[in-house]
Amino acid sequence: MTSKHTVLVTRKLPKAVEDRLKRDYDVHLNPDDIMYTTDDLIKLSGEAEAILTCNTEHFTGDVVLRLPDSVKIVANYSVGVDHCDLESFRKRGIIVTNTPDVLSDATAEIAILLMLGAARRASEGERMMRKGSWNKWSPEFMVGSAVTGKRLGIIGMGRVGQIVAKRARGFEMEIHYCNRRRLPEANENGAIYHHSIESLLPVSDILSLNCPATPETINLLTAERIAMLPDGAIVVNTARGALIDEKALVDALNSGKLASAGLDVYRNEPGGSPTISKLPNTFLLPHIGSATIETRNAMGFRALDNLDAYFSNRAPRDRVA
Ligand code: 8YV
């Protein structure tokens, strides 16, 4: 009988994923979902050959250097890999994988929810009902703006961006996008390509951020760029908080330059921004883009497929380093 390969799992995962892990690996699970410090992580990595991690663990250059030599592969339970210093992994010859595709639909659903919630002032209305403070109606009461027929600007037309566009077409939105590369015409489905963010912004009644956080995209939405959006525009972010200058966003929401913002991601996670949370014209969620049981299972299975491939001498399909 061949002995099983050893895997350290940093967070508690859905049962179906943990069952498969237990069946196929000698696995160190985290049933109490303890948040490991870097020292814990290094110590627990012990003799592990693989680590299955979430984006809550930060693999900085220093952490990667300290990983034991036994670790050959880090399989992320996430599509984003901005918590991993990929160059340091490459230098150490440790393989890194992610989980693309399987969370695109779930994240696009949340982008649409944020658009609708921000445009139709859903958060204000919901809070009013819960507080029992709805005591009047007038023609101008709780008036928001329509989503139907508006121009949607998408920054990052990858897997998620393309599904957001597809769903938005159901609201007869005119789709504009900016991406490193133009999509093949057949995949554009009428979406209008912009070479630059500066060209995209003035036609974005609603702006959706759908690109990864990389050195090129961090802080991409600055005060100067927000000023280029149409007055009363709406900003939606399901990608990463680091894409937005949060102070500039708050200023624009306070001045009325932006009508509202729908956010699922923040610079500070978990927690978010107390300043943003105080603004009435925001619709806020706690980073739940991929939080459906179907998706969270699929993410785990995809991470496991990558480990299975590595340990049977096949190339993991989602290798990023
Ligand atoms: C996950 C995400 O919740 O996959 C990603 O990049 O941002 C999220 O949807 C998280 O990363 C899980 O590790």
pLDDT digits (tens, 9 = 90+) for 109-154: 999 999 999 999 999 999 999 999 999 999 999 999 999 999 999 9
Q: Judge if 73 and 177 occupy the same domain.
A: no
CB of 78 sitting under 6 A from ligand 1: yes
In what order do the strands lie in the sheet containing 6-9?
A: 26-28, 6-9, 50-53, 73-76, 95-97
Residue nearest to atom 9 of ligand 1 (CA): 290
CB of 289 sitting under 6 A from ligand 1: yes
Residue to mutate (ligand 1; options 10, 79, 237; most atoms within 8 A of CB): 79
Q: Judge if 75 and 134 occupy the same domain.
A: no
pTM of the predicted protein model: 0.97
CB of 103 sitting under 6 A from ligand 1: yes
Q: Judge if 262 and 306 occupy the same domain.
A: no
Residue 140 lies in a domain: yes
What pLDDT, on the 0 to 100 scale, is given for residue 2? 66
Q: Domain limits at 77?
A: 6-102+293-311
> Among the atoms of ligand 1, which is closest to the Cα of residue 98?
4
Parts of the chain with a pLDDT under 70: 1-2
Q: Judge if 114 and 125 occupy the same domain.
A: yes
CATH of the domain at 92: 3.40.50.720
Total structural domains within the chain: 2
CB of 241 sitting under 6 A from ligand 1: no
Q: Judge if 113 and 228 occupy the same domain.
A: yes
What pLDDT, on the 0 to 100 scale, is given for residue 1? 47
Q: Judge if 144 and 268 occupy the same domain.
A: yes
Residues labelled catalytic: 240, 269, 287
